[in-house]
Chains A and B, each alone.
Chain A
């Protein structure tokens, strides 16, 4: 009996090759997308599991208070002062605490140097993470000049992993010796997370070395908080996250400086496995859930597709069912028969899907620098369960529909059956197109928003600014004037400006200023940017009132430990925060700096520029203060006149080589800085578009099949209408309208849903698209037009057929 069921199933597939192919391809496509989404989710949420103690390792993080104002809710970094305090207070109870900080240095072996992001870590890092040592051991960081390299870095510098004892020099000044070489950290570690920029463990140096490198004291700081300030805690098996959380809460209460409480609301403890996803937690976007949901949606569309096509097809088999029933089959037996068929199809589809995924994974890994794989041992139960569920869910309705009729009815009355499931089929068509339109609307809105972000970025001359970075080195600083003069002498260079930050660089240097001296209640937070006066002209920033800064005017230039009153340029938003309405009224107004450190007490506004989104991208517009402070310049911005840019760039490189021969030039166009973050937005939308395209394609396949079926069902009616004089056009319209109704109903639900869903995305942006209503309408219209295009051919062919054919065999 079971064998017989399988035999029938395969024979039916062979007999209806086209239908079978459509069914299998559609289902396979849906399954492939679903499984891939599941694999991604699984991969991303199972990072770092290979570390022996991964279940005992935790990262510390901060929950943002309103004062942080950089658009994140939480981040798994803490002030570098926290680690040592925890160690001092609870060193006996917990197993280990280690901090990491990352800074970029020119790392050279002799004359060959690379700019490298070096991870400075407490020695305990090597206790917490059991790296795979190729040379040396976990004691390497105990010496303040010891280094740990990973395999690739060792090979890059020395051509061998046998590098212990070799010397590397940082910024041409500080010598370190390699004491250990570890195997490259696997890609599925949060250190290599594609979501966290530049976290790779290539070179590990002891945190103690930072004392001489940049005056960083080992006890850490309360004031600084950067994305690199990770602190890891390893607990003994007897203690858990709650215990650690309690210690952190206590620590916050007792020790957190008042100032910091405005930006840090509390501490949290996360298991290590969460670290890879921390960036999504930070911006409050549940990316993994979204991917899983999208995958599930596509799978549902595929199932509905199958159900519809199978229903249509099975009605052609009512005669078979009638015969079987006449000969004594009961409904249960027939149900089993039809379900076996749909299970067979689901299984074939899953094989196809798995084959597609096996082909896709290497490409995907390559594109995204991941090491995903389809591990059959782990995923088999899930794949089988998915197959069975899909087979049953998709096959149950057609099986039930076709097997429930009495044998006489089944043998005699073919047409009647089609109508009974009409509401169900319409609902399913609606569901498919609703999901597709929903995704389409998301894609459209995200796309247009991204375009808007891009468009907004053109307030700065993106194509014409060439930036030279890594200037913040003591050795380079004295040569900046020479560099500037020589660069400005080049024919293709229209201007050279130095600054601490350039547009689109994601860095927030913020400070509180008060509008009344000594009155803390008038304080507000301002982003600060150090610049040379040419910055405004290089970046086309107009002056609305007052004047630009000038190096020859004494009060304009900050002299550390000396200046008490400094002239600055501010943007309009700063004036707004001060309660000043016009740029003109702002000139001459003052801002006050409270607190102990430094000599600077007062700022005088001498110039006002418009509010521009300097951080760009998804950031909110912020109040900015531009001041002139000759040191602390990290970047030179060169305004390159269009024309022979290549020549100009090579001239610039020649100048650099002459002036600063011992450091390699690090040049890039402003475009590239922008694209670095913008590409993330773009890729996100490409992924979304991929999901939407698959869903839409499936919905169209389904509709195509269903239109064929429905047209067949209505043959008689169409014949009658034609005999009575309906034109082909009217008939086609009738059929098209029949399918438009459920699609339109679905849109009425899907588009508002999409509207709310995109709000999550739009909320990230300061400069939002005005109203997504038009886009929603466009997405809806696209879905409807595609639905029409799918059925129009059918409808037209059937509408043109000779009515006699329709009525002949009644």
Chain B
């Protein structure tokens, strides 16, 4: 029985072989592939947030279609991506939020990375409330009034104080110092992930429950829910020098690009493209929205944007 089944299998395979060799088919390697330039390999780290992905997707699209680069995307956490410069695993990080510590470590000390200019996108960090809350209590958006509303924000995690939901472990936070130094009756609760923050805001807006938390822009959620930023004492140069004594708002970040030193020194077309790349918060939010909400693949979203913004793309080309 086994033998007959085997024979049948072999026969089937042979039949398939004959059929196939008769009609042929599309060949791998002959259909795809565009003009290959002298660009060579281009390895972009993909940090895990959508804004970053928008930057990277557009850059990759341009590098592939215009420069003929062989683009590899690597999904990496930030610090891991920085490590990749030294080993040659990563050529470029295309949206960097500050990270003075990493800059010191990899640019100053190890000298494996160099800065490659601003992306043109401005990053904001701060405390946000859902729009319905800001509408209902317009004065809640000033930190001076926060103690008045502390009861509103009580949860099982914060005890008798208000809960200030912090979150993404990737972002620097001064919130505990802020709460202390501004004498707010709040407790910082670490949600631990971006997902925890987003879900908290979504839920709050939908069920009209109060929540206040740490968030940032640009972020795709802001195109879904227009979170309202709470005013903190304005940032001044040096007011955040001592982490223990911070009592001012977060600075505005100029999100920039970092490339590996080798990549910069070779200065191929891909490097020039990265260096020239610059756009705006609105541009990024648009692409991020397509990806996050309209569920387009990053590649498709990038293609679409590049097609619609040919003139911008032209200024980036080497």
A and B: interacting chains = no
B interface with A by C-beta (< 8 Å): none
